[in-house]
Amino acid sequence: MRVNYQTNVTPRLRVLSEDQIEQIVYEAMDVLQQTGTRVYEEEALTLLRGAGCVIDGENLVHIPAWLIEASIQSAPSRVLLGGRDREKRIALEKNRIYFGTGSDCPFLTDPCTSERRRYTKEDIYRAAKITEALPQIDFHMSLGLTSDVPVGTYDRHQLLAMLRGTTKPLVITAIDREGLADQLEMACAVVGGVDEWRKLPLFAVYVEPTSPLDNSREAVEKLLFAAEKNIPLIYTPCPICGATGPATMAGNLVQGLAECLAGLVISQLKRKGAAVIIGGVMSILDMTTTVLSYGAPELPLLSAAMTNIAQYLGLPVFSTAGCSDAKTFDQQAAIESTLSIAFAALSGANLIHDVGYLESGLNGSYDMLVMSNEIISGVKRILCGVPVDAEHLALEAIRRVGPGGHYLMDEHTMKHFRNEFWVPELLDRSNWDTWQSRGGKTLKMRVHDKVLDLIEHYAPPPIPEKTERELEKIVARADEAHRAEEVTQP
């Protein structure tokens, strides 16, 4: 009998020790209690004041540690989302990883002309149907920001395009509370009513506080509506090391966590048990370019550290990967995407977004998305680890083959190679002559060919006609209300 034998089922990554996590959590609580956070929404201020917070002046809120701890305890550690296809579900719980796109990039490199241009509603639909076709992309955000619809209602148009393109769970953005309300109505029409929504929400809404330590009226209004209506809320900041956050990694984590926890407290005061997902995009300000770097090694490092913290607190986490500072889909994009995907997956983050970002979050790239799908698949093979048991140790096969033999036709190989070996779709392992006979295409060419094929030939499952008409009616109503508001404004 062998004792004290430890098994690693899968590889893992841990950036912070428990003692370091505790110190960061305590310091974040100290920031909220001593320095405070500004809140610019009256209902939230009333809730905070009633819960025992001290408010200096009109809006500087000091949140006591006990209230933060109580809010952490009341927030769920597990959040479910389900797509238009109700069988496509994701469970945001400790060490369950899901990858998805990011949202609202203004630019796209046109897949047919290579022109860098603004996103259109058709582009938003194409991004969604590419997500639908990629097996490693688990949820969808818009990827682009449509420019050919009314500015005041673009969020409803984007949701409609996304729903047409994919049956997977969604993460949305909203202009304001009214935009979120309309999108909730659209989602309820798709899933079959409010009760079905409450059982399995179709989307989470992404809302940002403003670093450092500001909570705008618009953000908090959406937060309160989400808490009231059982909409899972992603309340995550984007503190930039050296600009809107401290230059040090630990300092940035303290401030970012404080900003997340402020939203968590407000949500729990509005409705105990409201689902909140923390995390965020944390990276550095490149001091030579003044760009928020999506490809810096500090981004996956900070993301993994925040995942450690969220897991310690028992909260789902919103993380970042599959993105790059590269201006086009090139070798730099591949390097930076691979590093961030590997770190995010190994850390056990839940909603891992921004897959497909180029140009530091300004260009939502179909090519980057398709390539990252392949990277995610390979990284997941690494995450399977190395099983060590009698069957996998293969002693009988080793004895059978013996010195000087080979395993090509051995029964052990026939039994295991299909599951043990990862087979790429786009990466090429052929020899030179075979590669040349197939056209000598680089990875960039093969990826782009797949993008064009998906755009041209892939058809996502359609929305039922009755539901489609109902969705269009909600969007048209919002457009009409927006036009009427513009007419009445001086």
How far, in Å, CA of 407 to CA of 359, rounded? 47
The confidence band for 185, taking pLDDT boundaries of 50, 70 and 90, is very high
The confidence band for 1, taking pLDDT boundaries of 50, 70 and 90, is low
> Taking 90 as the threshold, does the pLDDT of residue 7 lie above it?
no
Strand partners, 45: none
Calculate mean pLDDT across residues 333-343: 98
Please give the distance of CA 118 from its chain centroid, rounded to a whole number: 22
Residue type, 457: H
> Taking 80 as the threshold, does the pLDDT of residue 4 lie above it?
no
pLDDT of residue 490: 62
The confidence band for 484, taking pLDDT boundaries of 50, 70 and 90, is confident
pLDDT of residue 486: 75
State the Cα angle at 300 between 369 and 30, rounded to 5°: 130
> Taking 80 as the threshold, does the pLDDT of residue 6 lie above it?
no
pLDDT of residue 308: 97
Tokens of 391: 């069957």
What is the residue-averaged pLDDT of the chain?
Answer: 96
Say if residues 109 and 68 touch (Cβ distance below 8 Å): no
Tokens of 282: 């944390």
pLDDT of residue 10: 84
The confidence band for 489, taking pLDDT boundaries of 50, 70 and 90, is low
Report the length, in residues, of the chain: 490
Q: Is 272 left (phi over 0), alpha (psi -120 to 50) or beta?
A: beta
pLDDT of residue 380: 96
pLDDT digits (tens, 9 = 90+) for 275-324: 999 998 999 999 999 999 999 999 999 999 999 999 999 999 999 999 99
E strands along 115-269, which residues? Answer: 116-118, 170-172, 203-207, 214-215, 233-235, 240-241
Tokens of 60: 């500087």
pLDDT digits (tens, 9 = 90+) for 77-90: 999 999 999 999 99
pTM as predicted? 0.96
pLDDT of residue 9: 79
Q: Among 25-29, 458-462, 481-485, whose mean pLDDT is lowest?
A: 481-485
Q: Which residue has the tokens 């690494």?
A: 382
pLDDT digits (tens, 9 = 90+) for 381-406: 999 999 999 999 999 999 999 999 99
Calculate mean pLDDT across residues 439-467: 97
Return the closest-CA partner of residue 309 out of 247, 249, 222, 219: 249
Burial track 166-205 (b if 16+ CB lie within 10 A, e otherwise): bbbbbbbbbbebbbbbbbbbbbbbbbeeeebbeeebbbbb
The confidence band for 485, taking pLDDT boundaries of 50, 70 and 90, is confident
pLDDT digits (tens, 9 = 90+) for 195-226: 999 999 999 999 999 999 999 999 999 999 99
How far, in Å, CA of 329 to CA of 337, rounded? 11
Domains along the sequence of the chain with CATH: 73-383 (3.20.20.480)
DSSP state letter for 245: B
The confidence band for 418, taking pLDDT boundaries of 50, 70 and 90, is very high
The confidence band for 359, taking pLDDT boundaries of 50, 70 and 90, is very high
pLDDT of residue 134: 98
User: Distance between terminal CA atoms of the chain?
Assistant: 84
Return the closest-CA partner of residue 313 out of 98, 80, 73, 13: 73
Q: What is the DSSP string of 147-187?
A: -SS-GGGHHHHHHHHHHHH--S-EEE--SSHHHHHHHHHHH
Tokens of 299: 């981004």
Q: Which own/partner pairs from 155-159 qualify as long-range (CB within 8 Å, at least 24 positions apart)?
A: 155/179, 155/182, 155/183, 156/182, 156/183, 156/186, 156/474, 156/475, 156/478, 157/121, 157/124, 157/475, 158/121, 158/124, 159/183, 159/186, 159/187
* Neighbour order of strands in the sheet with 54-56: 54-56, 60-62, 37-39, 214-215
